[in-house]
Amino acid sequence: MLGGFRVQQGATCFANPSLVSCYRAVYTGRLAISGIFLARCVGLNKKELKHEVYDKAYKVLTTQTLAVINDLRDPGADVVR
């Protein structure tokens, strides 16, 4: 597999003192190439999230050494939300 981009959806609740809640979809995106984790981001819009993840992965690939890239670990979707 050359690369994989995966988007997951979750719900976030914002509560205020008047007990009114507003639910919004929150998406997490992850990019890995051949099983090597490169980037994970969180966003409210799938399209913007996809661009943000690709930009972050590009920055990692152009600024980090191979040793650092191999040591990168995915924090997981629940941690970054």
Residue at 59: amino acid letter: K
pLDDT score for 5 = 58
pLDDT score for 27 = 87
In angstroms, the CA 35 to CA 69 distance is 12
Q: What's the predicted TM-score (pTM) here?
A: 0.69
Domain boundaries, the chain: 4-75
CA dist list (Å): 34 to 3, 14, 24, 45, 49: 6, 37, 32, 26, 21
pLDDT in tens, the chain (81 residues): 445 556 555 544 444 444 455 567 788 899 999 999 999 998 888 899 999 999 999 999 999 999 999 999 988 877 765
